[in-house]
A and B are shown apart, each in its own frame.
Chain A
Amino acid sequence: MQDALMNALTQMAWPAALAIAWVFGEVANRWLSLPRISAYGIAGFAMASSQGGFLGDPSGEPVARLADFAFTLILFEMGYRVNLQWLRHNRWLGATSVIEATGTFAAVFLVAQAFAVPQTPALLLAALAMSTSPAAVLRVANDTHSAGQVTERVLHLTAFNSILAVIAFKAVIGYWVLESAGSVYQAIWHSLVVLIVSGCIGALFGVAVPGLLRLTRNPDHNPTVAFAIAALLLTALTHTLNFSPLLAALTFGMVARHRRIVLTQAQRNFGVLGDLLTVLLFVFVAASLEWRHVTTGIWLALAVIAARLVVKTAATTLLARPSGTGWRKGWLTGLAMMPMSVFVILLLEQTRHLHSGMLDDVAGIAAIVLLLEIIGPIVTQQALRLAGETQRREDR
């Protein structure tokens, strides 16, 4: 009897958590002007069992697959908004991207060394810190109807630093596999092969899906559903084969955009489906964290966050004028690139088959994720607002 009751409660846990997080998100957005995703994060963290809540550790659970899917949708949209032509016309933008990403890697590695973090975790931490969370940036930009130079630059730089972060992360994993297992074959498999095959799968989808849509062309048909189903398929496929869904989804979006076969507007955020999955995604990420991990790495976390912020804003500010915008907008671009939580957690989650305790091993990461999950979107929202690119309420 008690078992049955417990079972029923467990079944209820995630739907109830989503409902609570959503209500909290609306309230916090209405009364505190807090970005909804920050509120979902706070709710998720509070409801996790490690904090005495009712949500069990979600990593490895089926809900993790759903979170992967949610993130794939976001990365696809992110990739779809990247215009590679822009890099050709504005080389300084490409330079900004490389400098801010590699600069962050170097700075964070040095900080970790100063905190006596062993070499491999320090390298992993540095690779993770390169990335800006596409989920946070895209959600905030879409929620505030933001448009303009800062928005465009943040989206592009985020897509690029996410790709660079996956590459760096996989390279470190390869190095780590080589060191621990001593197998060159395995090391190459887990880094180079994974990267190349993931990219190829994404590109294949990017060619095939628009082609299919072209074939079944129906002028009234909205391609959103087709892209969502393809994203679902892509998540399942890359996950089963242990490739990188992140890289595949970004490539899928970018290639689909540049194939430009179907010039129809897919719904922003994948409409209601995207909104629903976003609640799940941000609750999931925060629920993966444990208070004890957060407290142990807090000083390292603060130092990493500061170093990361300084390097990113310095790069975007110094290269603002050559890349065609002003100092102020450059600075705001760097500031808006603060979030990094979702990307990190899912990258770690997807590396579970190699090593499941990464959150314990990479010191400081839990604290960084928690702080930036809450603060990151607020900073992004303020930066876009200061840039004058968000839709003012009276304008709607």
Chain B
Amino acid sequence: MALESFKAGSALTMGVELELQLVNPTDFDLTPTASDMLDLLARKPFPGDVKPEITDSMIEISTDIHTRHDEMLAQLRRIRDALVAAGDRLNVGLCGGGTHPFQHWPERRIFAKPRFKELSGLYGYLAKQFTVFGQHVHIGCASADEGLYLLHALNRYLPHFIALSASSPFSQGVDTLFDSARLNSVFAFPLSGRAPFLLDWADFESTYFSKMEKTGVVKSMKDFYWDIRPKPEYGTIELRVCDTPLTVERAAALAAYLQALCRMLLERNEPPPREDDYLVYNYNRFQACRFGLDGFLVHPQSNETLSIREDILLTLRRLTPHALALGSEAALDEIQFVAAGAGNHASLLRHTYAGEGSTQSMVAEAMIQFRKPRAT
């Protein structure tokens, strides 16, 4: 199967996918009820899209294509309300969070669908350990080359998204000391990491993808688990490093932050990306996963060490005109609120653990956060 052609569309549209946890409200462990939820949800028109994920304690929702933050948020809230109502009828709790804090991975069951069974056969325990929950954000691109440009120009901002969304401090019952432990599970896969440094779609197709395809290692773009990957059939690039935040408000804000950032990058006022930018890439990514907003990143071109928190606050200032143009000031306020004071959801969950002393209480808090309608 050759690489699909890049379906170029309107620039700066956005779409969000969220992988969500299904938990039992009695013991707060994950519960294999995806098919029950999907059956019940299928009875009424769903305000978005919902589908199963690799293990049957998770479901994935996605929004339509939006250009405005407020519309995206409104749809995410309708989706959330529909999910919560269905969960209430079935005694199933829903929540965000990049990992379930204490789930025991050998107990997970692979959802009965050929592709998932195949992946499980190939990856063994990695497939079950991959019971992690991420947010994916798609940004529409006017052309394939613009997509590749954005993909690489974003490399220096990637730590922002990891730090802002991080909500997976615990794994298998223990504090990992990471803000995003989820990404460590993703890195275990052989085709994870960064995309090759190619800025021309024809090059990408002929010199990279077709060679990879000939090796037999990959069949389609789906087999790459890159941090940012092009999605030719949608005409988008897809940012995949975010943990699913605890609230849909945070999820919508992250999408709008990326949208504004892309708008700024497309003005091409920044020095263009280079292969050498990736020298510090893994280090920066580690800092964001481990320390969240308190981490430090090395600027790939000036080699300066910057606090991730400070860097986000500075970026927000530069984004103000773009937010104004896109109508996403409220989203940037939310990002400002996270970076300047409130902290990410990993710190909220750690705080809950410190107060309550149990990993169950973290899930209970995550369920409350998810269903709580918020005024902002």
Contacts and interface: CB of A to CB of B under 8 A. Distances in A.
Given A217-B357, A219-B358, A89 B88 contact: yes
B39 interface: yes
Given A145-B107, A148-B31, A265-B28, 5 more contacts: A90-B88, A147-B24, A148-B32, A148-B36, A389-B32
A149 to B, nearest CB: 5
A219 B36 contact: no
The residue in A83, A152, A323 that gathers the most chain B C-beta atoms within 10 A of its C-beta is A152
Contact of A391 (B33, B35, B109, B361): B109
B295 interface: no
A79 to B, nearest CB: 11
A83 B26 contact: yes
B91 interface: yes
Given A81-B26, A83-B26, A89 B358 contact: no
B40 interface: yes
B267 interface: no
Contacts of B40: 324-325
A155 B29 CA distance: 17
6 smallest CB-CB distances across A and B, nearest first, come from A89-B88, A324-B89, A263-B360, A219-B357, A263-B361, A86-B91
Contacts of B35: 388
Interface in B336-376: 356-358, 360-361, 364
A3 interface: no
B106 interface: yes
A51 interface: no
A325 B356 contact: no
Contacts of A156: 91
Interface of A: 80-81, 83, 85-86, 89-90, 145, 147-149, 152, 156, 217, 219, 257, 260, 262-265, 323-326, 329, 388-389, 391-392, 395-396
Nearest to B25: A83
A84 B36 CA distance: 20
Nearest to B85: A89
B90 interface: yes
A83 B91 contact: yes
Given A148-B33, A263-B361, A325-B40, A80 B26 contact: yes
A324 B24 contact: no
18 contacts: A81-B26, A83-B25, A83-B26, A83-B91, A85-B25, A86-B88, A149-B90, A219-B358, A263-B356, A263-B358, A263-B361, A264-B358, A265-B360, A324-B86, A325-B39, A326-B39, A388-B35, A392-B109
B276 interface: no
A217 B361 CA distance: 14
Contacts of A149: 33, 36, 90
A85 B106 CA distance: 30
**Chain B contact patch, size range:** 20 to 34
Contacts of A85: 25, 88
The residue in B28, B31, B86, B90 that gathers the most chain A C-beta atoms within 10 A of its C-beta is B90
B136 to A, nearest CB: 27
Interface of B: 24-29, 31-33, 35-36, 39-40, 86, 88-91, 106-107, 109-110, 356-358, 360-361, 364
A325 B26 contact: no
Nearest to A90: B89
Contacts of B26: 80-81, 83, 257
Contacts of B28: 263, 265
B32 A147 contact: yes
A89 B89 contact: yes
A393 B356 CA distance: 36
Given A148-B33, A217-B357, A395-B110, A265 B88 contact: no
A264 B360 contact: yes
A262 B26 CA distance: 12
A328 to B, nearest CB: 10
A86 B90 CA distance: 8
Contacts of B33: 147-149
B32 A152 contact: no
A260 B31 CA distance: 20
A333 to B, nearest CB: 12
Contacts of A260: 364
A395 B86 CA distance: 27
B36 A395 contact: no
A289 to B, nearest CB: 34
B91 A152 contact: yes
A106 B275 CA distance: 79
A85 B93 CA distance: 12
A337 B28 CA distance: 25
A23 B27 CA distance: 32
A386 B12 CA distance: 48
A80 B106 CA distance: 25
Contacts of A262: 358
B107 A324 contact: no
The residue in B40, B91, B107, B109 that gathers the most chain A C-beta atoms within 10 A of its C-beta is B91
